[in-house]
Structure 1
Amino acid sequence: MAEIVYIYPISIASKMISSFTLLAKYHLKYLRQVSKVYELDRDKVSWLYWATKKNVLIHPICDTFIGGDERRTVINKIRLEQVFKYKNRIGGFDIADSSEISKVAVKVLNRFDLVMVPSSYAEYVFRNSGVTTPIGVVPHGINPALYEPDTHPDELLPSIKPLWDVKQKTDSLFVLFFAIQNLYRKSAEIVANVMHELQFRTGRHSSKQGKRTVLLVKAGFNPSPDLRIFEKLKRIVVTGFMSDAELKQLYDISNVVVVPSKGGGFELNALEAIARGVPTLVTGEPAWRDYPTTPFHDYLQFTVPLTVSEMVRVYDNHPVHTGKGWAVSEREFYRTLVNVLDNPDDYKKQFAEHRKKVLEIYHWDRIGERLISLLREYDFI
């Protein structure tokens, strides 16, 4: 049986700042069906030693080997050379948060035997930036908990029930927004402006339901001070790690999910919301506008797309993601959100159909088959 060393963020501190750990667990499940797998925390890479060379997968590649302050830059270089000293075949996973990646990132990726990305948009960005290494598209799959039936109010968990009680008592409509990290990339300032308009606008173009809306913000372990951008809104901020069951119920109590990100290789929380049948508004450009050349579908067709007004830089001085992203039109975002809130039955019916399709297309078994197929094609297993 083939042997693979899978390097990813295992430590608790790493889990707090990324979803890479959670996604890796699914990859590991399918890899173990066809190979003997050794897990290694990326923070321990500098110390590794093997008697024989092994096939290696890194998740994520660039974040593991590029960037940071002077000290981390030195550590990352040691990590990189240490892995290459003991590797046989080396591959890994990465994303594209903007329309371009840096020359440093391209140089690192071109040393690999295989790079796997979550969308054909990300593949396009890598190729257009100069990556010549073979690239395979392996989307994120849907959490198995999201296949379960709708949540009955009597089944609500202690962490979710208070939110439901507030919603019922105030006759509110919940607009869910994930603000775990990179708030500018997630377009938090645009969400804040649109929600302010929705909640406080009066006159001919105001929403029938706008006054009932509450922005439900899902933040991380250490909420960013930038969340103050929402302080003038009717909002509830939920912090910390959520179990699969809690996450499922968070989607179930929401009326709409908004994901107007400026950039991203694949926005998993949008797919998860669709998997629960919740109307989901997303930026009408990559990463949702996937291409039909992949074994998967154009993600955008399962969403409510938002019109883009301009391209903007996603990050300042990022060591990897150096390109631009897409900012949605606040005016069109407002109009679209009003339409969804004012016509809930129509969108509920539409997303019930979308749910059936994405649960099939993005089932982890299908993603796992794609992963194993690529690794066989490039002689990892």
Structure 2
Amino acid sequence: MSLWYVYPIWHRVSFTLIAKKHLEYMKKKARVEEIDELAFPHILPHSRPLVFIQPFFYVMLRSSRFISRRLHAYRGFIGIDVADSDRISNLAVSMTDYVEVMVVPSSFAKEAYIKSGATCRVEVVPHGLDDYWFTDPPRLTQSFPDLFNLKRQRRLKFLLFFLWHSDYRKGADLVYNFYRELKKERKDVVLIFKTATADGHWAKKFKELSCIHVYGWLTEEQKMELYDLSDIYLLFSRGGGFELNGLEALVRGCFVIAPNRGSWVDYLDRMHLVNSHSCSYVLKDNPIHCGKGVEVDIERAIDRVHVVLDNLDDFKAKQREFVMKRVYPNFRWEVVADRLLEIAKAIYERQRGVVAHVV
């Protein structure tokens, strides 16, 4: 079985990180050739590989005229992509005609593809985490001892929000308005605001609310420590294909608050979800993700946070039980990689069966 995996190697984006985790575990059980997305259109294969492509839509947008000339050289394509909103465009739907199957990370994404008119097979294969995210003891003082001491000395509750990019989609304005109102009602909460860089519009805005600003690239261990130090993670995204930060927070015991619609519903429980309403777009004028999103009801979110913070130990215990029963069996990279290989194997076997029948 000849397998290629095409993904962005030439620069590091979120798709790169997901692809590397897929490959790390897939390569333990199969031979998979890694191909950079920019090189892929110019390589003529001789082994008729089955090709995973991530992100499928943007690779095709850039290179479809080259790829379409060489379709005979491939056994087929397995597209891996997301749905950041509740619909994908007609252009995106037309590109799905090239694949044997589209792999998406959530039930929300699958529904968006089907509702938009995609007729290909759509399989849900979620993102995951390494086992140590579930098993390692809390990290509290290795990288952020000042935060640990501040929390203990002032008996604070820490809220956490990650904003790497896409401030509107990630709900930066919603988190800002939420925290501004919550501070009027509670004096024991502080928001930790994590960004990629030290400056920017929202870095300045959140500093007005006396938030703790953490910025720069974090190691896995440093990320884990931020979750371990924090009590509630604010997943206020308007859309997104999965929102891995929510899963990371959940597994590390940081209680998650999120809207009751969206891709994150697959890995959260009812106790994490609050009412939401629709918003007209997630990514304005995007050629792929052209649908609507959701906005968390800020008043309901504030009410829920009060209840959780006043009963924090009970809620964290319930969350831990949920994680071990529902999340651990399904949201680990090892399980994810096995599922991807199963999909590839099924395509091979189906095609061999067709050939045998014709013969």
TM-score scaled to structure 1, two decimals?
Answer: 0.85
CA shift in 2, pair 1:356/1:221, >3 Å: same
Post-superposition offset of 1:51: 3.5
The count of residues paired between Structure 1 and Structure 2 equals: 349
SS in 2 for 1:26: helix
The CA deviation at 1:94 is 0.6
Which position in structure 2 is the counterpart of 1:171?
155
Q: State the match for 2:108 in structure 1.
A: 121
1:145 and 1:248 in contact (8 A); partners too: no
1:30 positional shift = 3.5
Letter paired with 1:321? H
Matched, 1:135 2:122: yes
Letter in 1 for 2:330: I
Task: Report the counterpart of residue 20 of structure 2 in structure 1.
Answer: 25
Q: Could you tell which deviates more after superposition, 115-124 or 28-37?
A: 28-37
Matched, 1:288 2:283: no
1:257 is matched with which residue: 233, 251, 258?
A: 233
How far apart, CA to CA, are the structure 2 residues paired with 1:80 and 1:212? 57
Shift of residue 253, structure 1, vs aligned partner: 0.5
Deviation at 1:107, TM superposition (A): 1.0
| Residue 217 in structure 1 maps to residue 217 in structure 2 | no
* Matched position secondary structure for 1:289: helix
1:237 is aligned to 213
Contact kept, 8 Å, 1:30 with 1:372, in 2: the verdict is no
SS at match of 2:83: coil
**2:315 maps to which residue?**
347
Give the percent of matched residue pairs that are identical in Structure 1 and Structure 2.
30
- Give 3-state SS (helix, strand or coil) of 1:282's partner: strand
Q: Does 1:161 align with 2:172?
A: no
CA deviations on 1:76-132 (whole Å, 9 max, x unpaired) are 445644774642211121111101001111111121111101112211110111111
Contact 1:8/1:40 (8 A) holds in 2:
yes
Match of 1:191 among 175, 186, 195: 175
User: In structure 2, do the counterparts of structure 1 residues 241 and 152 end up closer, same or farther at CA, with 3 Å as the change threshold?
Assistant: closer
Q: What's the counterpart of residue 355 of structure 2?
A: none
Cα deviation, residue 58, structure 1: 0.6
Partner residue, 1:278: 254
**Matched residues in 2 for 1:310 and 1:113: separation?**
33
Give the CA deviation at 1:161: 2.5
Cα distance change on mapping 1:136 and 1:309 into 2, 3 Å: closer
Structure 1 residue 5 and structure 2 residue 18: aligned?
no
Distance 1:239 1:43, change over 3 A: farther
Q: Give runs of aligned pairs for residues 80-91 of structure 1, distance below 5 A.
A: 80-81=67-68, 84=71, 86-91=73-78
Separation in 2 of the partners of 1:81 and 1:163? Answer: 54
Q: State the distance in 1 between where 2:349 and 2:96 align.
A: 17
Task: Supply the distance in 2 between the matched residues of 1:310 and 1:320 (Cα, whole angstroms).
Answer: 19
What SS does structure 1 have at the residue aligned with 2:75?
strand
Q: CA RMSD in A?
A: 2.3
Evaluate the alpha carbon distance shift between residue 127 and residue 269 of structure 1 in structure 2; reply closer, same or farther with a 3 A threshold: same
In 2, the alpha carbon distance for the partners of 1:25 and 1:83 equals 26
Equivalent residue of 1:35, what SS? Answer: coil
The alignment's TM-score, normalised by the length of structure 2, stands at: 0.89
Which among 296, 303, 317 is matched to residue 285 of structure 2? Answer: 317
Q: Secondary structure at the match of 1:242?
A: coil
Contact 2:178 2:302 in 1 (8 A): yes
Q: Does the 8 A contact of 2:87 with 2:113 survive in 1? A: yes
Deviation at 1:184, TM superposition (A): 0.9
Partner amino acid for 1:263? G
Q: Which residue identity does 1:275 align to in structure 2?
A: V
| Greater displacement, 304-313 / 143-152 | 143-152
Q: 2:97 aligns with which of 78, 98, 110?
A: 110
SS at match of 2:169: coil
Q: Which of the two has greater helix per residue?
A: 2
Whether the 8 Å CA contact 1:145–1:245 is kept in 2: the answer is: no
CA distance in 2, matches of 1:35, 1:79: 28
- How do 1:335-374 and structure 2 match up within 5 A? 335-357=303-325, 358-374=327-343
Shift of 1:36: 2.0
Superposed, 1:58-73 pairs within 5 Å as 58-66=53-61
Deviation of 1:64 after TM superposition, in Å, equals 2.4
Cα deviations by residue, 1:152-208 (Å, 9 ceiling, x for unpaired): 54xx33x33233233334433210111111111111111101101111x2xxxx2xx
Instruction: Out of 334-343 and 85-94, give the one that drifted further.
Output: 85-94
Residues in 2 aligned to 1:32 and 1:324: alpha-carbon distance in whole angstroms: 37
Residue identity matched to 1:301: D
Q: Secondary structure at the match of 1:250?
A: helix
Change (3 A) 1:377 1:216: same
Alpha-carbon distance in structure 2 between the residues aligned to 1:112 and 1:255: 43
Q: What SS does the aligned partner of 2:303 have?
A: helix
